[in-house]
């Protein structure tokens, strides 16, 4: 096995961020770091990928690996109104399609409900990206530096969660060596989803011994006839909150002192 690997490293700062935990509604919980689908969405936005037939999407789907690390300063809960503009919701509130008056006061159409949203503040992320096609990684680096093909405002999480690229570096050289700690929140993939080019034979033992909660994170989705996203590909991971573990061999970013554990999106 090669003793070095070349990868792309992206450092991101966000003043505020919310990475929604699926199926949380009246209180919307957030992951401490973005899931793979959120980072993949950022990449597709920057590269101008519009649908699954795009050549860049095929490259992402079939060969992209991600490793995500991060910290945040604090978490607060915001209390807001969510609006439902469906016809049934409007009638339930105003008793008529044509009415918008309630208690003699004109109001917004549709229904509404109070929602609490968890919001992270002063988020700092380090995202590592690997692809066996280095020409594609160079194109991806250029998309981060000069996002002229972007499809929307550059954000990560909610559309209002703007970001600052603090570093875009290629190549970053990872060297194989022993490590025994990760000082960030990070996703640690089950062996089935870990990029085999970056793990050693003792990875099974490492994953089983790691003291962390297991999650199934969404990776890819289809759009149904109602224009809804239906995720049909999930990745099993542990959410590691940082700390020490039994010494094991990894590819390590010596500049950041981080063992890099890549998740292959295709699995």
User: For the chain, how many helices (H) and strands (E)?
Assistant: 5, 14
pLDDT of residue 1: 55
Q: Among 125-129, 169-173, 233-237, which is the least confidently predicted range?
A: 233-237
Torsion angle defined by CA atoms of residues 240, 245, 249 and 253, in that order, rounded to the nearest 10 degrees = 50
Whether 202 has a pLDDT exceeding 60, the answer reads yes
Domain enclosing residue 254, as ranges: 4-264
Distance between CA atoms of 218 and 231, rounded to whole angstroms?
A: 6
**CATH assignment at residue 117:** 3.30.70.2660
- Look up the pTM and report it: 0.91
The structural domain count of the chain equals 1
Question: Which residue's entry shows tokens 């692809």?
Answer: 131
Whether 267 has a pLDDT exceeding 70, the answer reads no
Whether 122 has a pLDDT exceeding 90, the answer reads yes
pLDDT of residue 72: 98
Higher pLDDT, 46 or 223: 46
Question: Quick check: bond before 171 cis, omega within 30?
Answer: yes
């Amino acid at each position: 096995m090669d003793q070095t690997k070349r990868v792309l490293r992206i450092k991101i700062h966000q003043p505020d961020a919310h990475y929604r935990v699926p199926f949380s509604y009246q209180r919307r919980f957030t992951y401490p770091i973005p899931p793979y689908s959120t980072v993949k969405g950022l990449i597709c936005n920057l590269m101008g990928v519009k649908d699954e037939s795009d050549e860049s999407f095929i490259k992402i789907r079939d060969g992209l690996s991600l490793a995500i690390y991060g910290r945040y300063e604090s978490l607060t809960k915001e209390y807001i109104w969510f609006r439902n503009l469906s016809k049934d919701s409007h009638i339930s509130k105003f008793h008529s399609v044509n009415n918008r008056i309630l208690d003699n006061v004109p109001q917004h159409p549709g229904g509404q409900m109070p929602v609490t949203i968890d919001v992270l503040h002063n988020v700092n992320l380090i995202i590592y990206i690997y692809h066996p096609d280095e020409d594609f990684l160079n194109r991806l680096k250029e998309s981060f530096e000069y996002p002229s093909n972007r499809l929307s405002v550059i954000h990560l999480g909610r559309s209002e969660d703007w970001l600052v690229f603090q570093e875009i570096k290629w190549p970053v050289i990872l060297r194989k060596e022993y490590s025994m700690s990760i000082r960030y929140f990070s996703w640690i993939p089950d062996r089935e989803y870990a990029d085999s080019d970056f793990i050693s034979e003792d990875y099974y033992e490492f994953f089983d011994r790691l003291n962390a909660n297991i999650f199934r994170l969404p990776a890819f989705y289809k759009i149904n006839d109602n224009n809804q996203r239906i995720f049909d590909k999930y990745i099993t991971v542990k959410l590691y909150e940082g700390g020490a573990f039994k010494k094991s061999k990894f590819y390590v970013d010596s500049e950041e002192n981080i063992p890099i554990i890549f998740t292959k999106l295709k699995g």
